[in-house]
Structure 1
Amino acid sequence: MLSLKSLSVACALGTTVLMGCTTHSADLKNTEKPSKTSVTLQSHHWELQQALTAHSAPDNQWKVPSSNEGSARAIGLNFSADQRINVDRLCNSIMGSYSTQGEQIKISRLAATMMACSNTALMQLEQNVAQQLPKAKTWKITDGPAPILELKFEGGASWQLKGTPTHETLYGNSQRIFLEVAPQKVACSHPLTPNAQCMRVREIQYNGQGIKQSVGEWQNYYGSIEGYQHQAGVRNVLRIKRFTRDQVPADASKYIDVLDMAVESEIVR
């Protein structure tokens, strides 16, 4: 059995304030949502659509290499209200801080979790992104049905990122929960998917000091956790942001679970 712990449990539980810990929504049940909010850095998740050189030519070095699953993805940026920036859609989670003054933006040196990836091109892109973002000089949002964030870097290169509302913008505050995910999926009954395979999960409760208080029963998990890709043979403890829908679509859960961070990862042989 090989243990691969990328960040301390204390950081994940919020019992200690450490550089590099990700942020989370208030640990409250869903409250009344605003009917309309203006587009801000914090209100949307930003996905890279186009990168340009200083001479306005397409710069393809920032494209995410294809994964084994073949699913297309792009570099994503999240800006929190407490001035933390998080980069996703790569291998590790890249984190740091930022500040703005008018159209000026300053991004700190970034830190990353230490999960190894088999895709060496993805690992190299991750390092390049961590070096590029602190070079950002200005930002500008063009509002519209799909708002665009433009980041300009020293030297004249730029990124254009498309915005989609964050879950906090759409659903309000989230509840923080911890789920342990078993290393193997199991056969399960699903009305829409023949021969379905489900994750097995159980909820873990911690106290304010980060000490485990209770562990729930194993259950089949019929949906998906946004931002989480299950790997056979890997046991994970995940910190989850759970949002509650006001209007639940047919054959859907009233909850939307979003990966906040992996607390523990362990290869089970």
Structure 2
Amino acid sequence: MQTFLRGKCRNIGLRSAAVALATAAATLAACATAPAPNLPSAGANLNQTQPSGPSRWELVRWQQADGTLRDIPHGDNGQPIIFEFSDGIDAAQGTVSGTSGCNRFTGSYGKTDTGVRFDRVAGTRMACPPPRMELESALLKAMEGSFTTVGTQPSSAVSSGRQVVWKTASGDLLQFAEREGVGRRGASAAAGGVEKIVYIDSQRVECSGVGKMMCYRWRESPDSPWQLWYGPIEGLDFEQGVSYKLRVREYQVPNPPADASAIRWELLKVESRTRAQ
């Protein structure tokens, strides 16, 4: 990897799909004209192994134009940076939403000859610690220009899932990995889920997990006692001072990280919202 960052390009053997993608990203950053070995072309269609439909992608690596890696801090409840594409990553156009480091965002996307572009991106305006705000600002700024696809990795027997590397207008490389949880591609995770109604309090409260964090207060009925919810509510654009009645899908997360919840909630519908007096 250091060899690439110093600008000395040479062919190497790729031992795994994960190594192939990371190596290809570094190679393309330093040697824009050199072919990436054993990597699908920039125009490769990721649907060659997946059906069309909604898909969910997590930002897992950010390499800046000078070759240094940018830290990707997660949210208060461990939320990653997520892009949810309404019609799949290969669709000609559609809507995109997700989390940008601190706030939730929505907008539209469209396929270009070389990658993808984003339009009319708008987000909530919650304040977060400086590292997350700085990352979010940089990401939203990057989304003002088109992303060029410089590497793809379809699903296979030797890879953990589909991945894509996009190059921003400023030369940064953003690596995204597909995650379960939206549409048909999340069917395996959601199939065992259970729909339920939950009531969410109008204020989040400080709580302790692995460290200090902010939790939702929730209950199963209007007269039940409040309980703490330590994880995110995926798809909810929470507004302080507003209480919610939500229909969610709850399912178990297999082998969750030590600092993450073993139960996941995915928003299906906001049944009602009431502003606190």
TM range (shorter): 0.5 to 0.7
Whether the aligned pair in 1 keeps the contact of 2:115 and 2:147 (CA below 8 Å) is yes
Q: So what's the TM-score if we normalise by structure 1? A: 0.53
Q: So what's the TM-score if we normalise by structure 2? A: 0.51
1:115 aligns with 2:126: yes
Give the C-alpha shift of residue 179 in structure 1: 2.6
Distance 1:116 1:267 in 2: 21
Give the C-alpha shift of residue 132 in structure 1: 0.7
1:49 aligns with 2:61: yes
Whether the aligned pair in 1 keeps the contact of 2:165 and 2:176 (CA below 8 Å) is yes
Counterpart of 1:257 (choices 252, 265, 272) is 265
1:161 is aligned to 176
Give the C-alpha shift of residue 155 in structure 1: 4.3
**Does the residue aligned with 1:83 lie in a helix, a strand or coil?**
strand
Q: Quick check: which one's helix share is greater?
A: 2
Matched ranges for 1:131-210 at <5 A? 131-139=141-149, 141-143=152-154, 144-168=159-183, 169=186, 170-171=189-190, 179-181=199-201, 183=203, 200-202=217-219
Distance 1:128 1:164, change over 3 A: same
1:242 is aligned to 248
Aligned length: 196
1:106 is aligned to 117
Give the C-alpha shift of residue 76 in structure 1: 2.5
The CA deviation string for residues 173-224 of structure 1, in whole angstroms up to 9 with x for no partner, is 9969563226477xxxxxxxxxxxx965357xxxxxxxxxxx8333444765
**Does the residue aligned with 2:176 lie in a helix, a strand or coil?**
strand
Matched ranges for 1:191-230 at <5 A? 200-202=217-219, 216-221=222-227, 224-227=230-233
1:85 aligns with 2:96: yes
Distance 1:243 1:73 in 2: 18
Distance 2:273 2:51 in 1: 35
Q: Counterpart amino acid of 1:83?
A: G
2:135 is aligned to 125
Give the C-alpha shift of residue 138 in structure 1: 2.7
Distance 1:257 1:123 in 2: 25
The CA deviation string for residues 19-53 of structure 1, in whole angstroms up to 9 with x for no partner, is xxxxxxxxxxxxxxxxxx71768323323323241
Whether the aligned pair in 2 keeps the contact of 1:226 and 1:259 (CA below 8 Å) is no
Distance 1:52 1:241 in 2: 40
Q: Counterpart amino acid of 2:172?
A: A
Distance 2:69 2:254 in 1: 41
Whether the aligned pair in 2 keeps the contact of 1:239 and 1:259 (CA below 8 Å) is no
Distance 1:132 1:64, change over 3 A: same
Whether the aligned pair in 1 keeps the contact of 2:245 and 2:273 (CA below 8 Å) is no
Distance 1:92 1:183 in 2: 17
Give the C-alpha shift of residue 152 in structure 1: 1.9
Superposition RMSD on alpha carbons, in Å? 4.7
Distance 2:202 2:142 in 1: 37
